[in-house]
Amino acid sequence: MKRLHRTHLKSRDGIIYIENPAINQLGWATHGFLTRQSGVSLPPYDSLNVSLNNGDHLNHVLSNRMRIAKAFGFENDRLILLKQMQLDGIYLLNNPLETEGTLLAYDAILTNLPHQILGIQTADCIPILILDEKKKVIGAVHAGRQGTALEITRKVLRRMKEEWQCSERDFLITLGPSIGPCCYEIDEKVFLKEWEPFSIRKREGKWMVDLATINIAQLKLEGITEEQIYRVDLCTCCNSDLFFSYRGEGQTGRQLSFIGII
């Protein structure tokens, strides 16, 4: 597994983001793990909030989305965002969406169509971007505690194999910024036994959980090797200058991670 850090931060038209050089090398995909910086939203959404569902002003969010689209050179109406449900629903985008602004109630979206920008909004949960290097298929996944418990990332890989005959050895998988085991405490009531190797019991009834490592372990069960996995190794809660964190801040914004076929 290769780790991406602050040294991988880039800027495009003033938008700060982290990119995976291995995706750029493919030459047919655009992507970015955006930060909270360089937008127009005011506290507590400062400043590049892309979510309309947390109390921010509509025109600030739309302005942020437009700045992002302009910086990365895609049409604003090509950005597809999901109404993330904390479940394991997977949407297969086989035709360009006709109804602009409709939020699809899913936690993952897959396509092989060009010019469709698949976006995931997070503030602690893991945004995961997946490509099949040979079949030119892409996927964007939202994996929080519940999605991880439902093994949504494994289900996405299986679906890509079913739909496009993807082979596990051709996947390139990048986990974006998420809350680390340093800051993510959960109650024993929602803790799963199989997470024990990746967690620390902090005190009675409380566990510190490493969701990213659990997802990586799930990927390996699907035949994915270390060399195919990249991880942005920055905790959203510890790095509050760069990222929104729900655990850290409560009322706050959501950062965008996206991927598209050029």
Interface segment toward Zn ion; rule CB under 5 A; list 78-86, 87-95, 173-181, 191-199: 173-181
Q: How far is the CB of 242 from Zn ion (least distance, A)?
A: 12
In the block, residue with structure tokens 């199989």: 194
- Pick the closer one to Zn ion by CB: 212 or 235: 235
Token pair 């490509």: residue: 131
Helix axes 211-221, 152-164, angle to 10 degrees: 40
Contact 108, 90 (CB under 8 A): yes
Q: How far is the CB of 173 from Zn ion (least distance, A)?
A: 22
Interface with Zn ion (CB under 5 A), residue from 182, 190, 200, 262 = 182
Least distance (Å) from Zn ion to the CB of residue 112?
36
Of 69, 71, 208, 238, the residue at the interface with Zn ion (CB under 5 A) is 238
The minimum distance between CB 144 and Zn ion, in angstroms, equals: 16
Residue 58 parent element (H or E): helix 58-72
d(C-alpha 75, C-alpha 205), whole Å? 48
Cβ 195 to Zn ion shortest distance, Å: 17
| Cβ–Cβ under 8 Å, residues 204 and 145 | no
Shortest Å, Cβ 257 to Zn ion: 18
237 binds Zn ion (CB under 5 A): yes
| Distance (Å) of CA 13 to CA 18, 39, 72, 155 | 14, 11, 8, 36
3-state SS assignment for residue 33: strand
Q: Is 248 in the site for Zn ion (CB under 5 A)?
A: no
DSSP bridge pairs for 186: 207
Does 209 interact with Zn ion (rule: CB under 5 A)?
Answer: no
Residue 246 CB, shortest distance to Zn ion, in Å, is 13
Question: DSSP character for 246?
Answer: H
177 touches Zn ion (CB under 5 A): no
By CB under 5 A, residue 180 contacts Zn ion: yes
Per the document, the length of the chain is: 262
Q: Which stretch, 25-33, 102-110, 180-188, 201-209, contacts Zn ion (CB under 5 A)?
A: 180-188
Q: Is 235 in the site for Zn ion (CB under 5 A)?
A: yes
Among 92, 183, 192, 208, binds Zn ion (CB under 5 A): 183
Based on the shown chain and the rule CB under 5 A, indicate whether residue 208 belongs to the binding site for Zn ion.
no
Nearest to 233 by CA among 160, 182, 185: 182
For residue 249, what are the CA distances in angstroms to 17, 112, 122?
21, 37, 13
Of residues 107 and 210, the one with the C-beta less far from Zn ion: 210
Interface contacts to Zn ion, rule CB under 5 A: 180, 182-183, 235, 237-238
